[in-house]
Chains A and B, each alone.
Chain A
Amino acid sequence: AQTVTQSQPEMSVQEAETVTLSCTYDTSESDYYLFWYKQPPSRQMILVIRQEAYKQQNATENRFSVNFQKAAKSFSLKISDSQLGDAAMYFCAYRRVGNTPLVFGKGTRLSVIA
């Protein structure tokens, strides 16, 4: 079975600084998808960024980028120029090809300090 591990329960960052959230996963599949979801307090989960395993290029969405290391099964999220609105729980998630259910990590709570 696939598993996703987030080893940082909590992180904090100063406003305008850069922070990196870690994620590792375990799978025997060669093709799959990886995601970072953001869950603000008392609000619904939204997708931050996705990475297709067959693509070597790291995904980027504005201030958010990933470092995808397929051989190491590592998928970290970098947030640049952190803003107060970035404060939330961040979940790393894995999905097999086929629009199947997501497998989530336990999450990292990010605090942004003004």
Chain B
Amino acid sequence: DTGVSQDPRHKITKRGQNVTFRCDPISEHNRLYWYRQTLGQGPEFLTYFQNEAQLEKSRLLSDRFSAERPKGSFSTLEIQRTEQGDSAMYLCASSPLDGRSTYEQYFGPGTRLTVT
């Protein structure tokens, strides 16, 4: 098991362009989470999935953001019409699902987005 992977690791884009990030969770992890981390801050929750169902979206997730997990495996996060304020590290995490919820979330290395 290679852990949670994210692609690309870095992305530089011009304001107004669309970008898409991919996250591959640890195999057989039911839950997948997206967080955003800006400089000097802790990660903030964006959205999460249980298998292919999107269970919750943060108010941080504006209409320009969309996330999918079509087959309950990998997930994509798309940002349309990027703005400079979207510059951040986008983190993905996954965890198994159990009744007591004792499992930790395993984080990927993140995708650092820079909007110029």
Contact = CB atoms under 8 A, between A and B. Distances in A.
A104 interface: yes
Contact of B98 (A52, A99, A101): A99
B41 A106 contact: yes
Contacts of B33: 101-102
Given A99-B31, A99-B95, A91 B43 contact: yes
A72 to B, nearest CB: 21
B31 to A, nearest CB: 6
B45 interface: yes
A105 B109 CA distance: 19
A84 B12 CA distance: 33
Interface residues of A, number: 26
A107 B107 contact: no
B105 interface: yes
Contacts, number: 58
22 contacts: A6-B42, A33-B101, A35-B104, A43-B109, A44-B4, A44-B107, A44-B110, A45-B43, A45-B107, A47-B105, A91-B43, A95-B101, A97-B100, A99-B31, A100-B48, A101-B45, A102-B35, A102-B93, A102-B105, A106-B40, A106-B42, A107-B40
B44 A104 contact: yes
B62 interface: no
Interface of A: 4, 6, 33, 35, 37, 43-47, 50, 52, 91, 93, 95, 97-107
A4 to B, nearest CB: 8
A44 B100 CA distance: 26
Contacts of A95: 101
A67 to B, nearest CB: 20
A101 B48 contact: yes
Nearest to A37: B107
Contact of B41 (A50, A52, A107): A107
Contacts of B45: 101-103
